[in-house]
């Protein structure tokens, strides 16, 4: 721990054996059962020191005590770097320099140290796997010529999104991500491509894909859709969902079991205890409040004319929606009877 932080705390080694006993006695006062605590004493403590602690516990209402002198076992729970006399009194940089010098002198360098069988056995792990499993954070890895991955289709409020995740063949981690939506290079498509490239750069630079998925999931937008029983709030949320399914091994997640109209009618038909519900009534094409000014001509009561492309697009932008058609990519969407419609290709939200 850095000295600037360590100075703010009192550790076990900073307390005398009697101080430890005082903590135990203070807790014992409000407890009927015996308080269990180990009194930690330094390595140079004497028999008289132990006697003092036992008498202190007895005189102050303690019901028992465990006295341990530091260093009397080959392995113990609490150890500190300062117990190694060779490095005692050194700061971190001095200790690191001394260790490096010893490795150079004994093993001929770091490679010889890592290849040493006794070192591997002591660490009980594969040193090379430890260093190679994670890419270097902050350094973008070169892309191999061939990568394999999986492509998922996610339904969003802006159309079908295709998310491709390629793996690093060396460690099986996600290496890059591509995302494609729509049929042309419009606003939504360019935004999606930019987000995918940013995610790929982060993955190739060693950022944890779990963190990326957590950051993306839950981002909301004006248009919401459903995919395999999950609510997709936006394009970033769809990419985060695709990555989460990939990491959790749920790429082949099935659609939830649904009933068709015949099955629902049979359940509510004659002989069924469940009364048949009447179908919901429509709102007669009521227009959303967010688009009132652009949807209705207050003088005539007729839908707004699609000829004024600038006003129609600005109305959609003001209401928090994209004026780009998810079908053809043109910027000619306008409200017609409360439903977004494309003047260019005839696509309709309804």
pLDDT in tens, 94-131: 777 778 888 888 888 888 887 887 777 776 655 555 55
Average pLDDT (241-261) is: 80
The whole-number pLDDT of residue 165 equals 94
Measured between alpha carbons, how far is 326 from 181 in angstroms, rounded to an integer? 8
335 bridge partner residues: 340
What is the structure's pLDDT at 82? 46
**Confidence at residue 157, expressed as pLDDT on a 0 to 100 scale:** 85
Q: Averaged over 74-100, what is the pLDDT?
A: 62
Distance CA 346, CA 328 (A): 10
- Which H helix or E strand runs over 218? none
Q: What is the mean pLDDT of residues 200-207?
A: 90
- 124/336: higher pLDDT: 336
Considering 44-53, 222-231, 255-264, 288-297, the range whose residues carry the highest mean pLDDT is 44-53
Q: Which two tokens stand for residue 200?
A: 């790929």
Q: Give residue 40's pLDDT band: very low, low, confident or very high (50, 70, 90).
A: confident
According to the model, what pLDDT value does residue 318 have? 65
Q: Is 308 helix (H, G, I), strand (E, B) or coil?
A: coil
- Is the model's pLDDT at 257 over the cut of 60? yes
Q: Is residue 185 predicted with pLDDT exceeding 60?
A: no
149-247, CATH topology level: Enolase-like; domain 1 (3.30.390)
Counting residues of the chain whose pLDDT is more than 70, the rounded percentage is 69
Q: Which are the contacts of 335, defined by CB distance < 8 A and separation ≥ 6? A: 287, 291, 294, 295, 303, 304, 312, 315, 316, 341
Confidence band of 315 (pLDDT split at 50, 70, 90): confident
What is the structure's pLDDT at 299?
40
Q: Indicate the range of 24-33, 76-85, 86-95, 104-113 predicted with least confidence.
A: 76-85
d(CA 160, CA 333): 18
**Average pLDDT of the residues in 319-332:** 73
Q: Residue ranges of the domains in the chain?
A: 3-79, 82-132, 149-247, 289-342
Which residues fall within 8 angstroms of residue 62, CB to CB, at 6 or more apart? 21, 24, 25, 28, 35, 56
Provide φ and ψ at 98, rounded to 5°: -65, -40
Q: Give the pLDDT of residue 342.
A: 85
Higher pLDDT, 329 or 181: 181
Question: Out of 4-13, 298-307, 326-335, which region has the weakest mean confidence (pLDDT)?
Answer: 298-307
Q: What's the farthest any 2 CA atoms get from each other in the chain?
A: 104
Write down the pLDDT at residue 290: 41
Q: How many whole angstroms separate alpha carbon 179 and alpha carbon 191? A: 10
């Amino acid at each position: 721990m850095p000295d600037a932080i360590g100075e703010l705390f009192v550790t076990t080694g900073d307390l005398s054996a009697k101080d430890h006993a005082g903590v135990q006695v203070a807790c014992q006062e409000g407890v009927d059962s015996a308080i269990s605590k180990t009194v930690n004493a330094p390595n140079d403590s004497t028999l008289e020191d132990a006697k003092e602690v036992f008498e202190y516990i007895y005189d102050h209402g303690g019901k028992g005590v465990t006295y341990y002198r530091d260093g009397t076992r080959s392995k113990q729970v609490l150890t500190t770097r300062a117990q190694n006399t060779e490095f005692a009194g050194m700061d971190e940089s001095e200790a690191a320099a001394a260790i490096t010098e010893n490795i150079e002198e004994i093993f001929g360098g770091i490679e010889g140290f890592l290849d040493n069988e006794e070192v591997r056995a002591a660490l009980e792990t594969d040193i090379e796997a430890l260093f190679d499993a994670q890419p270097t954070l902050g350094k973008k890895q070169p892309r191999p010529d061939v990568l394999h991955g999986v492509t998922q289709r996610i339904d969003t409020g802006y159309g079908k999104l295709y998310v491709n995740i390629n793996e690093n063949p060396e460690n099986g981690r996600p290496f890059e991500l591509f995302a494609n939506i729509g049929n042309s290079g419009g606003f939504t498509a360019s935004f999606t491509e930019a987000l995918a490239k940013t995610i790929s750069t982060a993955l190739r630079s060693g950022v944890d894909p779990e963190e990326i998925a957590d950051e993306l999931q839950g981002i909301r937008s004006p248009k919401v859709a459903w995919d395999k029983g999950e609510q997709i709030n936006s394009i970033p949320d769809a990419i985060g969902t695709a990555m989460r399914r990939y990491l959790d091994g749920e790429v082949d997640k099935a659609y939830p079991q649904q009933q068709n109209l015949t099955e629902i009618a049979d359940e509510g038909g004659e002989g069924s205890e469940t009364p048949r519900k009447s179908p919901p009534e429509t709102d007669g094409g009521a227009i959303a409040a967010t688009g009132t000014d652009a949807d209705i001509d207050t003088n005539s009561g007729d839908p707004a004319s699609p000829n004024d492309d600038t006003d129609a697009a600005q109305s959609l932008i003001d209401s928090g929606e994209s004026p780009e058609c998810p079908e053809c990519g043109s910027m000619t969407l306008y409200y017609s009877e409360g439903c977004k419609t494309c003047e260019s290709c005839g696509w309709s939200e309804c």
